Structures are given as structure tokens and as C-alpha cells.
Chains A and B, each alone.
Chain A
Amino acid sequence: MSYRALLRSDIRHLAKDPMLMACLFGPLAIIAFARYAFWPLAEWVKEQYAFDLTAYTGFVAFVLLTTIPLLTGVMTGLLMLDERDENLIAYFGVTPLTRRGYYRYRLLFPSLLALLSSGLYLLASGMTEIRAESVYTLLLLALEAPCIALFLVAAADNKVEGLALSKLCGLLFVGPVVAAFVPEPWQMAGMIVPTYWPAKSYMLGESREPVWSVLSFAAGLVYHVLLLKRADRAFARRMD
């Protein structure tokens, strides 16, 4: 089996596996929500509860954006666990694709999807401003998806554990919350959450602090690469 054969099989699978379709259409639904439902919702909340949601537009926009790599990452992780439970990875390992080739291919998919969908979100959601710093956010979010997928396959023994651990991925929403609301010295505690870094870089870009935004991106990039390497080693150990 080669990359091309695996891609062909995935495209065939796409029609049969509705969740893979959701990986493609989920981000589109998020974009549609941001563009068409957020503003009427904010108006309704203001009328009903006298609460101005629009004051938090930047924060809500980033939380919705975080959902995109989370969705693609979790779905890819669960797909890989399913394939591992069915011993398919061992089968791929003895084909020209090799085991390493298999999982490089698998991890490239959520990265590309997260990059494209997040880019589309920034362009079309109507909740965000496009700035030069948006590129940093996009790159970090593209790394987020394979980090999540690798975390699931490295930490879980099987799909049931993967499902339980996927609940923990909800903790990733803590990153934007810390970056937006927690006062400065306490923000250090949030640095451990990967999503803190793209959120921080994005929010600094929004508040016209380009130097701090690029520094946050650099720190986030190093952190994500370290996380990926660590998860990669853990996954390789589990496969051997």
C-alpha cells in the first residue's frame, strides 16, 4: 500500500463514514454559525438577559476557532485508534507505506484541514479582523490538530480510553479563557495549555502589540514542536 492507495481508500471511506464528512463540514458549520447566528444571538441575549455578548466578540471568535483543530484532531485520533484496534496499522507496516509513513499521512490530514478551515474561518466568519499576526495563529492551530490526535493514540490503549481522553480535550478551551480573562502573573499557569499560545498571539495582534504577538507565536511554536516530539516518541514506543 502506498500514500496514493491510502488516499484513494480514504476518499472511498469518506462517503461511507459520516464522521469523516463531519470533519469536513463541521468547520463549515462553525463558520456559518459565526457569520449568521452569532450577531442575532447576541441581540437576543441582550434583550433577554441585558448582557452584551458583543463586548466579548474577540473571545467568542477565538473559542469557535479553537473548535476546528479540536474536531479534526479528535476525529483523526479516534480513527487511528479504530485502525489500531483492528490491527490495520500492523498491516500498513508491512506494506511499502510503512508504519511511519502511515501515521505521517494520517497526521498531515488534520493539519492541512485545520489550516485551511481556520483560514477560511478568519476570512469568512465576520467576527475576526485579518492582520499579519493571523498567520501565527493559523500555524499554531495547524499544529494543534496533530498534537491532539497523537496525544489520543499515544495515551489510550483502545478506543474506549480514547473516548474518555477525548473528554479531556475539552480542557483545551481553558487556553483562550486564561489568555482573555486571567490577570498577568496568573497567566503563567495557563501556559501549559497548548491553546493558550495561539489565543495569546491572536489577542496581542488584535490589541496592536505585534512584537509581543510574534514572541508569543515563537514560544508557542517551540512548545508545540516539543509536544509533538514527545507524543511521537510515546506513540512509537506503543507501536513497538
Chain B
Amino acid sequence: MRTMSAIASDVRFQIRHGFYGVYVLVCGLYVLLLHNISPGYKEKTALLLTFSDPGAIGLILAGGIVLLEKDQGVYDSLFVTPLRLREYLIAKAVSISVISSCAAWAIQLFALGFPAMPVHFTLGVWLTSCLFTFLSIGVVTRAKSINGFIWLSQMYSLPLAVPLAGLFDIGPSALYAVFPTNGSLLLLEAAHRPIPARESLYAVAVLSAGTAAAYAWAHRSFEKRILSRVGEGAAR
């Protein structure tokens, strides 16, 4: 119940700060771009766009939200309520994955049509978004300014972009098997072609494992670097 209220409150916050409005424009631009790309490249471009934008939206936004909350001293009062850190983190990830899923579906529907495997596609966007959100929260606990955070988040997320090379047939595919984002790309590909059950299982497993690891890291970092300092003013 507390988690649900936290999710609803986060979604309201995102609407109030214009995230949804911005994404309507950004999606419109992507749809326009995809309509003007030759059919041979359309699916690969859509996959890249969905992965790098709606998929990874949390990488920048989650950290920005945490920085603002830190500045406003929100944590001084938030964590004296019954809300647990676990619930707070899950609410952040789920609320951001709502906007990710809406944007990814809008791009897919308006530019390419109904996905071949809608459940796989949605799961791919959802888990990818959660992975990047947790990563972002882990990173932001180490940053002092918004620009420093952007820089750090790019550095930390760079390894997750490695499987993109596989999309262009660079190197053997086995090389990318351990990257959670390899699972993301496979599941997002399910928008364009049915993927076999074994591949689906692998994709969900590797992506879930990556997301769980990112969650654990974010939880530990937040506890150590922010919660332990609550009460020292703006929890800096």
C-alpha cells in the first residue's frame, strides 16, 4: 500500500515537472524520423532509439530527482515516516518505467505497428528502465552537482552499451552474453520478430539478474551515503 502511494506520488511529481509533456514531443520526433527511414534500417533504428531513450530514461531523470530531493532536505522528513528505503527505490523505478513503457509503446505503435511479442517487448522496456534507474540512484549518491552526476552516470553506464556493438555484427555474440543489456536488446527485438523460448528465458534471466544487482548497489549506496547523513541539514 505504501509502495503504491509512493509510486502514485512519483508519477504525479513527474507529470508536474513536465516529463510527460517533454516525452510527447520527443516521441513525435522519433516517429517522424522513423517514418523517413528506409524500410531496411527502420527496425534496427527503432530498436536503438527505444533502448537508448525510453529504455534508459531513468539514467538521467532518477538521479536528477534524487539530487533535487537532497537539496530540498526531503530525506530529513521522508525517512522518519514508515516508508522504507526498499519501497522508496521500488517506487522510483516503477514510476519511471511507466513513462518508459508509454514512450516505447507510442514509438512502436505509431512508427512500426503492434509488436510481434507485446509481453516480451513491455517486459524488456520495463526491466531496462528499472536497471538504469537503480544504476542512476547508485551513481547520484556519489555526485555533488548535477553536471558531475551527468558525467559520472555516462561513465558508469558505458559498459552497459557494449552489447550495442553486437547489433552491428561486431565480434562474436557470445562475447556479450554476460551483459544485462544484451537481454534488453533481445527482448526489445521481440517487437519485430518472435524470439524462441530459450532466448526469452536467457534474456529475462540475465536482465533480471543485472537489475537485482543494480538494486542492491543502489540500496547500499543510498543507505551509506545519504541515509546515514539524514539530519545533517540537506543530507549532503
Contact = CB atoms under 8 A, between A and B. Distances in A.
A167 to B, nearest CB: 5
Interface string A8-29: 0000000011111110000000
Given A48-B168, A171-B29, A165 B18 contact: yes
A48 B23 CA distance: 33
B64 interface: yes
A86 B19 CA distance: 22
Contact of B151 (A19, A167, A168, A174): A19
Interface string B4-33: 000000000000011100110110010000
Contacts of A16: 144
Contacts of A86: 71
Contact of A82 (B17, B26, B145, B152): B145
B18 A164 contact: yes
A173 to B, nearest CB: 9
Contact of A78 (B17, B25, B150): B150
Interface in A120-159: 157-159
A19 B148 contact: yes
DSSP class of A's interface residues: helix, strand, loop or mixed?
A: helix
Interface centre among B71, B147, B168 (most CB of A within 10 A): B147
Nearest to B152: A18
A109 B108 CA distance: 41
A85 interface: yes
Tier of interface size on chain B: 20 to 34
B22 A168 contact: yes
A152 to B, nearest CB: 11
A63 interface: no
A95 B177 CA distance: 57
B102 interface: no
Main DSSP-derived SS at the B contact region: helix
Contact of A160 (B17, B29, B151): B17
B213 interface: no
A161 B71 contact: no
Contacts of B18: 161, 164-165
B98 interface: no
Interface in A168-194: 168, 170-171, 174
B212 interface: no
B146 A163 contact: yes
A65 interface: no
Contacts of B71: 85-86, 159
A18 B148 contact: yes
B227 interface: no
Given A163-B60, A164-B22, A167-B26, A17 B169 contact: no
Interface of B: 17-19, 22-23, 25-26, 29, 60-61, 64-65, 67-68, 71, 144-148, 150-152, 168-169
26 contacts: A17-B144, A18-B147, A18-B151, A19-B145, A19-B148, A19-B151, A21-B151, A48-B169, A81-B146, A82-B145, A159-B64, A160-B17, A160-B65, A160-B68, A161-B17, A162-B146, A163-B60, A163-B61, A164-B18, A164-B19, A167-B22, A168-B22, A170-B29, A171-B25, A171-B26, A171-B29
**Nearest 8 interchain pairs by C-beta:** A19-B147, A163-B64, A18-B151, A19-B151, A160-B64, A164-B22, A160-B68, A159-B146
Given A159-B146, A161-B17, A171-B29, 16 more contacts: A17-B145, A18-B152, A19-B145, A75-B147, A78-B147, A79-B146, A157-B17, A159-B67, A159-B68, A160-B17, A160-B67, A160-B68, A163-B60, A165-B18, A170-B26, A174-B29
